[in-house]
Chains A and B, each alone.
Chain A
Amino acid sequence: MNYFDEIRGQERAVTLLQNSIKNDNVSHAYVFLGPSGVGKMLTARAFACALLERDDEQAAIYFKDGIHPDLLIIEKPENKTTILKEQISQGMEPWLALKPYRAGKRVVIIRDAHLMRAEAGNALLKTLEEPPLYAVIILLSDEQNLLETIMSRCQPVRFFPLTEPVIEEMLTGRGIEPEIAVRAARLAQGSFGDALGFASGGEIPHAYEIAGEILLALAGGEMISVFDAAEKMEVNPELITGMLETMLRDLVIYKHSGRADSLVLPDNLQLVQALQDQVDPAKLRRALQQLDELRRNYRRHVNALIISTNISYTLWEALQ
């Protein structure tokens, strides 16, 4: 069985990993680097299955349930915001000290490795410096914030944002209405995970409505409307911010070209026409950049309402 079949749009990574198995040139540690929701975990699982299956003919019995005696997946505990040092020193280390049970390798996948703090990173370093021969450690990281000493001991494998058609196809493949799929794919900025979240939550139309209201309110409002806007965003801050971003972009584009067919979201036309007299493209472009930086904070340990307030304020200022 080819476990890599399900992976879309990451041909480079997949080829590299498949070749390393074929040429028996598997590294003891990898870092899968790339935005969230583009297939890092799926690829890591596929790679692990392919590696373990080489020596364990009956590996499929275990994989059916997503586990294997020689596969360990480390994830951030549900009620925590980081990967804990104990998960490395008391979870992974003793596990790796036991020799393989059925396969020739033992694979550890550390999901969201970017959530490791320095202590956990240093604990991991101890193993990375002297891994057992049979160990394969795969770190999945959404951000490039791993310790330099960790990076230098791992083979990097890059993952890229998916193209919109690929995301659309994957969404429709899961039975999502083509119309919603198109919109979700546009808003997700290359992340299938986000696209799926947007599309299956059924929130897109509602969120779109809110985003439009927020923009209009900010454009015509006093500074106090910033707080109103931020509170409205609480429904789904990331999705609404994504929508606000496309709206700003469309505003800039329409201002320059005046063409309705170059809009990211065709639905934006009415809004764009309503606002275009009062926008300054230079200001908007600056706001867009700030927005992009601010929205990343939703994934960190920052109060979402504070980020939303900042975003609203940036928008308000840009629209004056």
Chain B
Amino acid sequence: MNFSIEQKDLASLTNLVYRAASNKNAIPVLAGLLLSVDPESGLTITATDMEIGMRVSAKNVDVTEPGSVLVNALYFHNFIKSLPAMRINLQYDKETAKLNVIYGRSTGFINTYRDFEYPNLPIDKMEDRITIPQAVLKEALKKTAFAAAVTHFRQVFTGILFDVKSNGELKVVASDTHRLAYFSYEMEQAISEDTKFIIPQRTANEILRVLDESDEPFKIAFNENNVVFYREGFLLMSRLIEGQYPVYEQVIPQSFSTFINIKTSTLGEILERARTMPGDDSLKMQYIQLTVANNELRINAYSELMGELDERVEEVDIEGEQDQKISFNTNYFLDAVRVMQTESEDIQLKLSGTLGPAMIQNPANEKYIYILVPLRTSN
């Protein structure tokens, strides 16, 4: 094997994949990156552990001799990353089983795995593709993935649901049962039948790392057990989570009693301040209480240990029923506000009674909904 490539191109490729290699040393080859070059397809790098698999490729290489080697992912990535920005040449020496790296007048070498057997990514028999612009996929995951549970006895809540309707509606949903984030999008194409699948949170986070704001199409294919997200030069394979996702539509309230419009930045600041109040013994979480009365909104955070915060919100617009008290988990509320901060000056909060779920929305965008279940507090 012998090929040349720009250092920054190679470094950005290894940066994408090296994390998919296993960092546990149970199976030595899984700690490796498989580099393959071939004059037609260029350079392909594959990494997989027991959970996910990634493959990236680049055409801008000069291949003198095709072949493939397996190198330790972490060392290779760190080494390539640290090289000067210039065209580098990589040559495999069969006799010594070393990969020589030549940069300018200097050289280095990396030991490789001899006579290795590397598992293929099990991506045959994939079908049912859907295509969405990269920026949309990024938005969908960024706005929902955080709402999934880290651990939950119902495992489906640790994942993110992709609910694809045959008419081309795509809904991306995540919930930990205390809150629910919902993103919808109309795809340009219809698909043959309604489909649902649930991806693990780690998969969502790994994809988020590679997505950018472009409109370049990203494709999703899946089979019974696995899902593949791919675009030209990039592929990520992940397992799916087994189980029936609850009917989330039922959780989204259809009517509300009170509508509150607030400046996103104002609300964000108040919640950040409220977060300094620690949770108390009875309710082991930080919470705020909203009081709506006389066309005014008060936000109160109380901690027996620390003190109290009592804010009167300026520039607030209230419609519907007054005289309501309702409590929310401060952090869950803030998560939603942070999402809104990037896109809207105003935030709309819709309440349906003291114990009914509340909805948080950008008033100008109905594609994204955040449902927050209030807390039962003693006062």
Contacts and interface: CB of A to CB of B under 8 A. Distances in A.
Interface of A: 56, 58, 61-62, 65, 67, 69, 89-90, 93-94, 96-102, 132, 134
A99 B27 contact: no
A132 B26 CA distance: 26
Contacts of A102: 119, 122
B226 A101 contact: yes
B51 A69 contact: yes
B155 A62 contact: no
Given A69-B50, A93-B155, A98 B242 contact: yes
Contacts of B27: 61-62, 65, 67
11 contacts: A67-B26, A93-B153, A97-B156, A98-B51, A98-B239, A98-B240, A99-B225, A99-B226, A99-B240, A99-B242, A134-B225
Contacts of B29: 61
Contacts of B155: 93-94, 97
B93 interface: no
B158 interface: yes
A99 B203 CA distance: 14
A94 B117 contact: no
Contact of A97 (B26, B226, B242): B242
Contacts of A69: 50-51
Interface string B206-232: 000000000000000000111000000
A94 B200 CA distance: 11
A72 B27 CA distance: 15
B26 A65 contact: yes
B151 interface: yes
Contacts of B200: 98
Contact of B239 (A58, A61, A65, A101): A101
Nearest to B227: A99
Interface in B131-176: 151, 153, 155-156, 158
Given A58-B119, A67-B26, A99 B50 contact: no
Contacts of A98: 51, 200, 239-242
B243 A97 contact: yes
Contacts of B51: 69, 98, 101
Contacts of A93: 153, 155
Nearest to A94: B155
Interface string B49-70: 0110000000000000000000
Interface of B: 26-29, 50-51, 117-120, 122, 151, 153, 155-156, 158, 200, 224-226, 239-243
B225 to A, nearest CB: 4
B117 A58 contact: yes
A56 B50 CA distance: 14
A97 B241 contact: yes
A99 B119 contact: no
Contacts of A90: 151
A89 to B, nearest CB: 7
Contacts of B158: 94, 97
Contacts of B243: 97, 132
B151 to A, nearest CB: 7
B375 to A, nearest CB: 26
Given A67-B26, A99-B224, A100-B225, A132 B120 contact: no
Nearest to B49: A69
A69 B119 CA distance: 11
A62 B49 CA distance: 11
Contacts of B50: 67, 69, 101
Nearest to B121: A102
Q: Which residue, B28, B51, B155, B242, has most C-beta atoms of chain A within 10 A?
A: B242
Contact of A89 (B118, B122, B153, B156): B153
A101 B26 contact: no
Contacts of B242: 96-99, 132, 134
A93 B122 CA distance: 24
| 3 smallest beta-carbon distances between A and B, as pairs | A97-B155, A99-B225, A69-B50
A96 B241 CA distance: 9
Contacts of A96: 242
Nearest to A101: B239
Contacts of B224: 99
Q: Which residue, A69, A89, A98, has most C-beta atoms of chain B within 10 A?
A: A98
A241 B193 CA distance: 69
A279 B277 CA distance: 80
Given A67-B27, A100-B225, A101-B225, A62 B239 contact: no
A61 B241 contact: no
Contacts of B122: 56, 101-102
A16 B50 CA distance: 30
A62 B28 CA distance: 10
A210 B128 CA distance: 73
Nearest to B52: A101
A34 B340 CA distance: 61
Contacts of A56: 122
A99 B223 CA distance: 11
A256 to B, nearest CB: 57
Nearest to B25: A65
B119 A62 contact: yes
Contacts of A132: 242-243
Nearest to B28: A65
Contact of A99 (B28, B117, B120, B239): B239
A271 to B, nearest CB: 51
B26 A61 contact: no
Given A98-B200, A100-B225, 13 more contacts: A56-B122, A58-B117, A58-B119, A61-B27, A89-B153, A93-B153, A98-B241, A99-B241, A100-B239, A101-B51, A101-B122, A101-B226, A101-B239
Contacts of B239: 98-101
A62 B51 CA distance: 14
Q: Which residue, A67, A69, A134, has most C-beta atoms of chain B within 10 A?
A: A69
A97 B153 CA distance: 10
B151 A94 contact: yes
Contacts of B151: 90, 94
Contacts of B26: 65, 67
